[in-house]
Structure 1
Amino acid sequence: MEIMRLVVTGPVGSGKSTLIRSISEIDVVDTDRTATDSTAELKNKTTVAFDFGRLTFGSDMVLHIYGTPGQERFDFIWDMLIRKAHAYILLVSANRPNEFRYARRVATHMNQLAQIPMIVGLTHTDCPGAWSLENIAIALGYVDDATRPPIVFLNPNHASSVAQALITLVQHYMEFSVNDKVSA
């Protein structure tokens, strides 16, 4: 059985832990602690190391899903997780444009450490003040459709929405792998 390691990353409160909890077939391993900094304005608890969940994906693949902390001070955890990952999803809260620049920095950081497939998952799209996909893509620096990663709408509270996003990520990984082999 093949193991595929996926990283779920993004700013605080974008839905990383919720995504993993909604789809994991095992009890999620989490390191949530009481938020004591500005994070407390968004939520009571925050991830301080990483979350881990697992999902059987078809008959011959198991997804190991790792969620990063959202705070930059834990970037050493990001480094550790992304170096062993096969692909990642960047979650971005569509209703918090003040965090788009930070989300872009997270993606840049990840892409500098590992050249692996990624997709963007837009969360909180049903909230007041949510930006459109096109405007968020521009804010994240994805102005060229040819080089823009897949961007999906995602509700981390709904397993079916998460499953669809993971299918998109795995398909993107498969395409990336095929193209990588063809160009070699």
Structure 2
Amino acid sequence: MRLVVTGTVGAGKSTFIRSVSEIAVVDTDRLSTDETAALKKKTTVAMDFGRLQFAPAMALHLYGTPGQSRFDFMWDILIRKAHAYIILVDAHRPSAFREARRLLAFMKQRVNIPMVIGLTHMDCEGAWSEENVAIALGFIDEQKRPPFVTLNANEKDSVIDTLIVLVEHYMKSLFFD
């Protein structure tokens, strides 16, 4: 099963994949040379790839996208054959919500597949509540809202719990959509 892990710069995409991958993560991290350097030393310029044997007959192939919109051609390439995706949103950086909305619109224009919103950094000072982030991302109607999950990308169990929600959401879509 191909899952895309996307989101804004610094939301935890690479960390998410590294936390659970059973293989050495293939990454394309390079030193940050633009405004991203204020958030982190390295940034993904093409993709991250990891793998997790989720069940005896189900391997999850995890593809992480770059967070910067200048690499949106990679978003396009990676999302095309995905079964589902998760968008990670840094809940304590409301300045990134606009970029998250742009990323959501980009993905929705290209695919109609199950998606989950993963909220990271919820334990940081100034983090917005799930409800407020949902509204900021344009999900006003609770009935049409995708699943929201709070997670810590550094903790394997938290990432696995998030993947369970995403896989369950995907499985339900096979039978109920």
Compute the TM-score of the two structures, normalised by the length of structure 2.
Answer: 0.99
- 2:70 counterpart SS class: helix
Secondary structure of the 2:145 match is coil
1:176 paired to 2:173: yes
AA aligned opposite 1:59 = P
Equivalent position of 1:156 in the other structure? 153
Write the distance in 1 (CA, Å) between the matches of 2:158 and 2:7.
18
* Map of 1:142 onto structure 2: 139
Computed over aligned residues only, the root mean square deviation of the Cα atoms, in angstroms, reads 0.5
Tell me the distance in 2 between the aligned counterparts of 1:104 and 1:117: 17
**Counterpart in the other structure of 2:87:** 90
| Cα distance per residue 1:140-175 (max 9 Å; x no partner) | 001111110000001000000000000000000001
Q: Distance in 2 between matches of 1:178 and 1:57?
A: 20
Give distance in 2, aligned partners of 1:146 and 1:177.
19
Q: Partner of 2:27: helix, strand, or coil?
A: coil
Q: Which residue of 2 aligns with 1:165?
A: 162
Stretches of structure 2 lacking an aligned partner (at least 5 in a row): none
Higher share in strand: 2
Residue in 2 that maps onto 1:9: 6
Residue 46 of structure 2: SS of its match in structure 1? coil
Match of 1:64 in 2: 61
Which of 13, 18, 28 is equivalent to 1:21? 18
Secondary structure of 1:48's counterpart equals strand
Aligned partner letter, 2:35: S
What stretches of structure 1 move > 2 A for 4+ residues in a row? Answer: none
Secondary structure, aligned partner of 1:31: strand
How far apart in 2 are the matches of 1:114 and 1:164?
24
Does residue 1:75 correspond to 2:72, yes or no?
Answer: yes
Letter in 2 for 1:133: E
Shift of 1:61: 0.4
Shift of 1:59: 1.1
Paired letter, 1:107? L
CA distance in 2, matches of 1:17, 1:100: 19
**TM-score by structure 1 length?**
0.95
